[in-house]
Chain A
Amino acid sequence: MSPPAEPGTAPDEIIRFEKVTKRFGALTVLDDFDFHVAPGEKVTLIGPSGSGKSTVLRILMTLEPFQQGRVELDGISYHEPGGKGPFKASPRHLREIRTQVGMVFQGFNLFPHMTVLRNIIEAPVAVLKIPKEEAIERATGLLDLVGLADKKDAYPRQLSGGQKQRVAIARALAMRPRVILFDEPTSALDPQLVGEVLNVIRDLAHEHDLTMLMVTHEMRFAREISDRVCFFDQGRIAEQGAPEEIFGEPREERTREFLQSVLG
């Protein structure tokens, strides 16, 4: 576990949002947003729906551009000086950033026309130029890790939701990201399937070097694996701290209300 980064200690930060403004048309989703993550840190983002949690992950994955401020990954700015287009960066620069980041989506987004194995090796072969045999070997290892070694030739439609999400995790890991983003990875699952996915994520949380950002409503799980919990409210981090603090003795009224509403 790495200690949370102090502002201004750049070398200790792998992710840095500074005064970021993100708008969808007239709607300002993030306003003057600051956020820092240390390498290897496991951070959970919680908060009401619409508070901007997904947007933070999607900006990091280069799925959403932002208008103002600065976002950095390992010291590299997302915007380039003189960068064009909504992302204010060249496609090449964005690709460079993406090599470090992986994402797991609420809806799995597996490729339905490809087998499980093909889903996993597609990008390593096409993007990282790993020889196919080697990619298959590594994919098999990853499937072992997520407990689905026997499903490599299955198609996504033949899998349960929990199995699909575990494949999606293996697929993201196959690109060897330094940062992995989970956007409500268990929200689309039947309750009895949540556990198998959380078990896989729990194992990953033991990876010292892997930086993890997770949006989730699984509060017990967040408490168990996180180094830090950030409570989002209306596009700001209203309160953050160690899980014991946030869940044990939240300072903000809004945090308490929110936790009460989700914990019942």
Chain B
Amino acid sequence: MIYGIHWDLHSPLAFAISILPILLIGMKITVEATILGFLVALLLGLVLALLRRVPLRIIAWPTAVAIEFLRDTPLLVQLFFLYYVLPKYGVTLPALFTGVLALGVQYSAYTSEVYRAGLEAVDRGQIEAATALNLSRARLYRTIILPQAIPRIIPALGNYLVSMIKDTPVLSTVTVMEMLNLAQIIGDRTYRYLIPLTIVGALFLLLTVIASTVVNRLDRVLPKEGVPLR
């Protein structure tokens, strides 16, 4: 029994049907962690990408080092660091939040690279024309550079979204009850692993297919030459 839900071991089908509601609760956690983690990655990544473009070395250089560090250390190490070390300094977050933060922070290193490539792909002539028209730096980014970078950025971000969905089981190591964790607990208690793990695999497939479909649609709908931001 988990969450007050009993399993039925009479037949494989009955077993599958009886544990599905439990795994769906886990899937909800998986989805929540992904959405929140990805939002953190999108925002923090943009901040990192912009800081890296600041024409001051004391800002751009540490940012580049931080990005490199985040990219080159395993997610699990970053997660353990947040989960076990931060509380020693009085910062105690719920496990799910810690997980979301770890996912978001690691992926912000990836998304910042996506933004950087997208921003750099905008034609220099666009920036020169905007400068000649005396647009402020903020305005230049908001109305000229970002709108033209977005259509190039979206597909690459979509890949990282799919990849983040597949990374969420890492959160089970810090007690987050996402679906793989639940499947394992069911397996441990019933000695039947095949069915819960198969269902979890299918649910992950479902999530990643939905995510890719949404991203592809978005990619097709967005005007290639740029998305006006008003």
Q: Mark A113-132, 1 if CB is under 8 A from B, else 0.
A: 11000100011001100000
Residues of B within 8 A of A155 (CB): 225
Q: How large is the interface on B (under 10, 10 to 19, 20 to 34, 35 or more residues)?
A: 20 to 34
Name the B residues within 8 Å of A112 (CB-CB). 148, 225-226
Q: Does B37 contact A (CB under 8 A)?
A: no
- Say whether chain B's binding surface is mostly helix, strand, loop, or mixed: helix
The CA of A171 and the CA of B135, in the complex, are separated in Å by 13
Q: Name B residues whose Cβ lies closer than 8 Å to a Cβ of A.
A: 55, 123, 125-126, 128-137, 139, 143-144, 147-148, 223, 225-228
| A175 / chain B contacts, CB cutoff of 8 Å | 133-134
In the bound complex, CA of A134 to CA of B143 (Å)? 20
Bound: A61/B125 CA distance, A: 13
Is B136 in contact with A109, judged by CB distance below 8 angstroms? no
Chain A interface (Cβ < 8 Å from any Cβ of B)? 61-63, 85, 91, 95, 98-99, 101-103, 105, 107, 109-114, 118, 122-123, 126-127, 155-157, 168, 171-172, 175
Q: Whole-angstrom distance from the CB of A118 to the nearest CB of chain B?
A: 8
Q: Which of B132, B147, B223 has the most CB of A within 10 A?
A: B132
Closest to A62 in B: B131
Of the residues B55, B134, B137, contact of A98 by C-beta under 8 Å: B134
Q: Are B136 and A111 in contact (CB under 8 A)?
A: no
Chain B residue numbers with a CB within 8 Å of A156 are: 225
Q: Which of A61, A118, A122, A157 contacts B225 (CB 8 A)?
A: A157
Q: Is the CB of B134 within 8 A of A113?
A: no
Whether the pair A113, B225 counts as a contact (CB closer than 8 A) is yes
Taking A103-B129, A113-B228 as given, write out 8 further A-B residue pairs in contact, using a Cβ cutoff of 8 Å, ordered by the A residue number: A98-B134, A101-B132, A107-B125, A111-B226, A112-B148, A118-B228, A122-B135, A127-B134
A63-B128, A105-B129, A126-B143 given as contacts; is B135 within 8 A of A113 (CB)?
A: no
Tell me the smallest distance from the CB of B222 to a CB of chain A, in Å.
Answer: 10
Chain A residues positioned under 8 Å from B225 (CB to CB): 112-113, 155-157
Q: Which residues on A sit within 8 Å (CB–CB) of B128?
A: 61, 63, 103, 105, 109
Residues of chain A lying within 8 A (CB to CB) of residue B148: 112-113
In the complex, the answer to whether B147 meets A172 with C-beta atoms within 8 Å is: no
Which of A85, A110, A118, A127 is close to B135, meaning CB atoms less than 8 Å apart? A127
A selection of 30 A-B contacts at a CB cut-off of 8 Å is A61-B131, A61-B132, A63-B128, A91-B137, A95-B134, A95-B136, A98-B131, A98-B132, A102-B132, A102-B133, A103-B128, A103-B132, A105-B125, A105-B128, A109-B128, A109-B129, A111-B126, A111-B144, A112-B148, A113-B223, A113-B226, A114-B226, A114-B228, A122-B143, A123-B134, A126-B136, A126-B143, A171-B133, A172-B133, A175-B133
